[in-house]
Amino acid sequence: MKRILSGVQPSGHPHIGNYFGAIRQHIEMQKNYECFLFIADLHALTTVHDAKSMREQTYELAVAYLALGLNPKKTVFFKQSDLSEHTELCWIFDCIVKMPFLERAHAWKDAQEKGKKDPTVGLFNYPVLQAADILLYQPDLVPVGQDQKQHIEMTRDIAITFNTTFGETFLIPEPYIKEEVAVVLGTDGQKMSKSYKNTIEIFAEEPELKKQVMGIVTDSTPIEKPKDPSKCNVFNLYKLFATEKELKELEKKYIAGGFGYGDSKKLLLKTILEYFGEARKKYKELLPKKDYVYSVLEDGAKKAKLVASKTLSQAKKNIGYI
């Protein structure tokens, strides 16, 4: 059976971009793959600097995955900071990765271009830790959204450099990116991202969710005029949920005119609430079950450690430490 691995940062609330770009694939692939999935709380430390947010967001992300269908009997589900192997292998990679290679990373270049004051070493080193996360588990595929493609390519380069320097150690993984949902756009038409505050959150309370959907940016075409669905953020989001038939129906209404953006937003909100209805119910039920949720992560960490420590030992042997 082929193996997959992926991680999501607990840096905010999970949104529908995370879901269609990554989470849905993680859940679906449980059927046919051996799955490793973790909460990337070490990566989140590049932006989250208070204990309450770190603890709550980590917990809520764990509950979100369980509510969306992660089965802990099928997927090894854990928290990155529970394993020392990730940071240990990160240091090893630091000693073979060249600075100019990391300077090419999009996230770093972005920080430079936006004139981010005093970027941390952690932000610079982010892709190296991600390479360690991945390579420790020798996965065949890494299911992610388009924005992570470069990180997976860098991971492949780092694995090849290590293997040629110290001998065959790591499997070279492939990214797994679903074209049609590779980049889900947010309420302002940019890529949906926690850092742009343009998200529609899967588990937000109904009034908040309504605010997010009603806040989707649209043009000023008056109600009675025909509208171009392909240029509308609401229509593009509706596409993620609708069947061919439902989509055609909405398209007709746009083209006919007499149908306002407010109407399509109401339809989108209703559709989101229906689509995630089960999961939202389960989320509420699971939220107070702290013992259960933490036990899932602890159990996952034990299973993950067996695999990660074996790979790390092999790397250390090949380096000459043991």
- Taking the complex as a whole, the smallest distance from the CB of residue 9 to ligand TRP amounts, in Å, to 5
Query: Containing H/E element for 276?
Result: none
The binding site for ligand TRP (CB under 6 A) comprises 6-9, 40, 43, 130, 133-134, 142, 144, 148, 151
- Taking the complex as a whole, the smallest distance from the CB of residue 170 to ligand ADP amounts, in Å, to 21
17 scored as a contact of ligand ADP (CB under 6 A): yes
User: Of the candidates 131, 127, 176, which has an alpha carbon nearest to the alpha carbon of residue 4?
Assistant: 176
- Taking the complex as a whole, the smallest distance from the CB of residue 8 to ligand TRP amounts, in Å, to 6
CA dihedral 176, 180, 181, 186 (to 10 degrees): 150
For 115: left if phi > 0, alpha if psi spans -120 to 50, otherwise beta; the answer is left
**Residue 201 DSSP code:** B
* Residue among 181 and 232 whose Cβ is closer to ligand TRP: 181
* Residue among 22 and 232 whose Cβ is closer to ligand ADP: 22
* Amino acid (1-letter code) at residue 294: Y
> Which of ligand TRP, ligand ADP, none sits in contact with 21, Cβ below 5 to 8 A by type?
ligand ADP
Return the structure tokens found at 84.
């020392």
Which are the contacts of 149, defined by CB distance < 8 A and separation ≥ 6? Answer: 175, 177
- Taking the complex as a whole, the smallest distance from the CB of residue 37 to ligand TRP amounts, in Å, to 9
CA dihedral 185, 186, 190, 191 (to 10 degrees): -60
- Taking the complex as a whole, the smallest distance from the CB of residue 105 to ligand TRP amounts, in Å, to 11
> Which of ligand TRP, ligand ADP, none sits in contact with 70, Cβ below 5 to 8 A by type?
none
> Which of ligand TRP, ligand ADP, none sits in contact with 134, Cβ below 5 to 8 A by type?
ligand TRP
Let me know: does 136 contact 311? Beta carbons within 8 Å: yes
* Residue among 190 and 230 whose Cβ is closer to ligand ADP: 190
Cα–Cα distance for residue pair 264/312, rounded to 1 Å: 52
For residue 28, what are the CA distances in angstroms to 19, 84, 138? 12, 29, 20
- Sheet hosting strand 75-79, strand order edge to edge: 75-79, 34-39, 3-8, 141-143, 174-176
> Which of ligand TRP, ligand ADP, none sits in contact with 18, Cβ below 5 to 8 A by type?
ligand ADP
Could you identify the residue written with the tokens 């309420």? 187
* Residue among 24 and 227 whose Cβ is closer to ligand TRP: 24
String marking each residue 118-147 x if it binds ligand ADP according to CB under 6 A: --------------------------xx-x
- Taking the complex as a whole, the smallest distance from the CB of residue 36 to ligand ADP amounts, in Å, to 14
Binding region for ligand ADP (CB under 6 A) out of 98-106, 168-176, 187-195, 216-224: 187-195
* Residue among 74 and 178 whose Cβ is closer to ligand ADP: 178
Q: Which residues bind ligand ADP (CB under 6 A)?
A: 8-9, 11, 17-18, 21-22, 144-145, 147-148, 183-184, 191-195
